[in-house]
Amino acid sequence: MNRGEMIGSGLVGRSLAGVDDFSNAELSYVLAGAEEMAEHRERYASACRGKIMASLFFEPSTRTRLSFETAMLRLGGQLVSAVDVGATSLAKGETLADMARVVGGYADLIVMRHPWEGAARVVADYAGVPVINAGDGGHEHPTQTLCDLYTLTKDRGCLEGIRIALWGDLKYGRTVHSLTWALARFGATIVFRPGAGLAAPDHVLSKLATDYGGELVRGEQLVRSDGEGVLPVDAIYVTPRSPHQLAMLPHMSAQLELDRGVDALYVTRLQKERMRVDVGESQPTDYPVVDRQLLRTKGFEHSVVLHPLPRVDELALEMDSDPRSLYFKQAHQGVPVRMALMALLLGCVPSEFPLEKALPDDWRPVEHIDYAHDTGVRCPNERCVVNQPSEARYLSPRFRLIQGSPPRLRCVYCDHEVCAGAIATAEAYDESTSRRKYHSPTSRWSSFIRPENLLVFARAGDAEARGFRPSAQAQVSE
C-alpha cells in the first residue's frame, strides 16, 4: 500500500470538528481529491450511492449548506435535513449528545452548523458516524479553510512562503480562525489587519504562538519601511524558512516580510450577529474596505482577493470584474472539496487519488497533556458548549495544559484559555492541610512541578478554598 492509499484509508470513519484534526498530508490529500473530482466528476457520480448525509444547519447558511448538499447529490448519495432548531427536539431541551446518537442511527454522515462553540466536537463524540463541522459559532469553520487552501494552491502553486493579509473582522470571523492555524502549519506569513476593536482573539494568537513553530510579532504598528503602502497591522506571524531567518530578531523578520507586500487579501465581513450590544459593544465606523484604489497601492499590485462570502460593504462591487478577485471561484470550488472530503470519510473512494506532487510530511499538533484535576476551573467563553445549561448536565469542563510561565489551560471544545492565578502540586494532597502550599504561577515552581501533577487555579482564592495556603514566595509576589 503506497502513501496515498494509506492516508485515504486512514481517513475512513474520521470526523473533522477542527482543522487540527487532520495532518498536513491528510489536508493535502483531500485537496488532491478535490482536483480529481473537479476534473472528472463523472467518475464519482455514484461513489456514495446508498449513503445518506444528515444536513443539520441551526444557523443561517446559503453557500455552505447548498455546497454540502450539492456535493452529496453529485456523489450519488441522498440527504435528510433540519435547518431550524426551533423545529427540532433541541428546542424541547434535548441534549446534543442524544440528538447525535439518534441522527447517527439515521444517516451515514452528519454535517452540522451550530451557534455553540465546540458543539461539533460533542456531536462527533456521540454520533458513531463521521461528523463535519460546518461552523460552530465564532470558533472554527474547517471546510471553508479547505476551500481557501484549495483556491490559494490553484492560484499560487503552493502555500509555503505565501504572504496573506487577513482583513476585517478577525474577532468573530470563524473562517479566519481555522485559516490562521492552517496557514501557519503550511509555512505562510500571516498579516493581521483587523477593523477597529476586531483584532484576532487572544486565544487564537496564543495557540498560533504556542503550537506552530513560527514567530508572532504583536503589540506594535508595523508599517512599510519606505513609508509607502502603509498598512495598519495588529500582528504578523512569520514561519522561519532558513537557519539565518531563525536567528533573526522576530521584529526584523516581520518587517522584511511586510516590506515585500502581500500575495493575497482574505477579506471578511463584520459579523454583526455575534456582537454583544447588551454589553455596549458598538459597530466600528471605519471598517476597512477593499477596492481598486487599495489594490493600486504599493505592495498590493499583485494581491489576489478572497472572501468566504456573503459580503456587505467591505468589498467594493467594482472588484468583481478584477481578474485578481477569486471569491466566486472560491465559492464554486467548495463543491469538489466537500465531495472529496465526504467520499474519503465514508470510505467511498474506489482507489487512491492521483498526486501531481509529493504530499508534505505529516504534521501533528504539539502534544499538550490532558489536564486531569478538578480545581474548579471553568471555560471563560460563555458561548462554549460546556457552559450551556442543557449540556452542562453531562459535560464537564475539559482542558489541555499549556506549559509556560504562567501555565494555561486550553478548553478542548472551544480553544479559549484560562491563565493560572495560582499553582500547586497534586502531591500536596498527601500532606497535612497545614503543609499544603500554593505558589505564584510565574515562580520557578511552574517548571519544577511535573506536568501531570500541576494544579492550576484561576485565582488564589480557589486554591485557599481547597485547603492550600500561600507559600512565602506567593505572599511576596501578591
CATH node for 143-330: 3.40.50.1370
pLDDT of residue 431: 77
pLDDT tens readout for residues 433-469? 778 899 999 998 888 899 999 999 999 999 999 989 9
pLDDT of residue 232: 62
Average the pLDDT over each of 125-134, 285-294, 457-466 and give the range with the smallest value: 285-294
pLDDT of residue 226: 52
pLDDT at 30 over 70: yes
Per-domain residue ranges of the chain: 3-138+332-345, 143-330, 370-477
Compute the residue count for the chain.
Answer: 478
Strand-pair partners of 53: 79, 109
pLDDT of residue 235: 79
C-alpha cell at 161: 512562503
Q: What angle do CA 243, 213, 344 make, to 5 degrees?
A: 120
| Separation CA 278–CA 275 (nearest Å) | 9
Phi, psi dihedral angles at 110 (to 5 degrees): -120, 130
| Separation CA 134–CA 132 (nearest Å) | 6
Sorted by sequence, the CB contacts under 8 Å of residue 323 that are 6+ apart come out as: none
What is the average per-residue pLDDT within 232-242? 70
**Which class does domain 3-138+332-345 fall in?**
alpha beta
Average the pLDDT over each of 54-68, 333-347, 359-373, 458-472 and give the range with the smallest value: 359-373
pLDDT of residue 95: 94
Domains 3-138+332-345 and 143-330 share a fold: yes
pLDDT at 104 over 70: yes
What is the average per-residue pLDDT within 128-141? 96
Q: How confident is the model at residue 229 (pLDDT cuts 50, 70, 90)?
A: very low
Of 365, 380, 373, 450, give the one whose Cα is nearest residue 410: 380
Instruction: Kindly state the percentage of the chain with pLDDT values over 70.
Output: 86
What is the average per-residue pLDDT within 242-249? 45
pLDDT of residue 254: 53
pLDDT of residue 243: 45
Q: How confident is the model at residue 223 (pLDDT cuts 50, 70, 90)?
A: low
Rg (CA), the chain: 23
pLDDT tens readout for residues 334-346? 999 999 999 999 9
Of 24, 26, 3, 2, give the one whose Cα is nearest residue 14: 26
| Separation CA 78–CA 123 (nearest Å) | 21
| Separation CA 277–CA 46 (nearest Å) | 48
Tally of CB atoms within 10 A around 19:
25
pLDDT of residue 271: 79
C-alpha cell at 293: 484604489
pLDDT tens readout for residues 74-89? 999 999 998 766 655 5
CB 167 within 8 A of CB 200: no
pLDDT of residue 249: 43
Of 273, 235, 203, 260, give the one whose Cα is nearest residue 18: 203
pLDDT of residue 230: 47
C-alpha cell at 195: 477593523
pLDDT at 16 over 90: yes
pLDDT at 252 over 60: no
The predicted model scores a pTM of 0.90
Mean of all residue pLDDT scores within the chain? 86
pLDDT of residue 66: 95
What is the average per-residue pLDDT within 13-36? 95
pLDDT at 356 over 80: no
pLDDT of residue 91: 63
Q: How confident is the model at residue 270 (pLDDT cuts 50, 70, 90)?
A: confident
| Separation CA 63–CA 284 (nearest Å) | 26
What is the average per-residue pLDDT within 156-181? 91
